[in-house]
């Protein structure tokens, strides 16, 4: 199918309280489109973790969700500091989040591993001092 539906959001990096708003909206939109519930859940959790990461580490960015006939692609882009060691960042429990983030319930080093676990494919393009783009695909 050539036709696809695209949702684009700005993720505000200045406010932890509002982090996750885009994911909540995507969940609603996907429900309205009649996407299978399990796929909706996987997309929302992966995107939510990504949004939180963008707020904690990268001063926000943009989130794009593209819905195809049989898959959903999530593209999260930021102009943050980049990830120095992707392999290390993918390890469960490894985190560079500051202590105040841990007191808010995040920064346990589960973000990227969770995103990988809930999606069928995840690609990380990152450059120090330039930014990071994470592309995730959920098939259904």
**Residues in contact with another protein by the rule CB under 8 A:** 16-20, 23-24, 27, 37, 41, 44-45, 48-49, 52, 92, 102, 104-111, 113-114, 117
Select 13 or 111, whichever has its Cβ closest to another protein.
111
Question: What angle is formed at CA 95 by the lines to CA 62 and CA 40, rounded to 5 degrees?
Answer: 45
Count Cβ atoms below 10 Å from residue 40 Cβ, excluding itself.
21
* Closest separation in Å from C-beta 41 to another protein: 6
Count Cβ atoms below 10 Å from residue 45 Cβ, excluding itself.
17
* Closest separation in Å from C-beta 26 to another protein: 10
* Closest separation in Å from C-beta 111 to another protein: 6
Select 7 or 16, whichever has its Cβ closest to another protein.
16
Length of the chain: 140
For residue 137, the Cα-to-chain-centroid distance in whole angstroms is: 11
């Amino acid at each position: 199918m050539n036709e696809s539906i695209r949702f684009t959001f700005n993720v505000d990096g200045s406010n932890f309280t509002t982090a996750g708003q885009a994911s909540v909206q995507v969940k609603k939109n996907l429900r309205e489109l009649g996407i299978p519930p399990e796929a909706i859940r996987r997309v929302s959790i992966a995107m939510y973790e990504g949004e939180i990461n963008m707020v904690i580490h990268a001063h926000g960015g943009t989130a794009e969700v593209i819905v195809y006939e049989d898959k959903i692609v999530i593209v999260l882009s930021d102009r943050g500091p980049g990830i120095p060691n992707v392999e290390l960042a993918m390890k469960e429990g490894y985190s560079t989040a500051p202590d105040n983030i841990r007191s808010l319930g995040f920064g346990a080093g589960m973000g990227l591993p969770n995103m990988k676990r809930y999606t069928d494919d995840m690609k990380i393009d990152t450059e120090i001092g330039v930014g990071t783009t994470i592309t995730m695909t959920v098939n259904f």
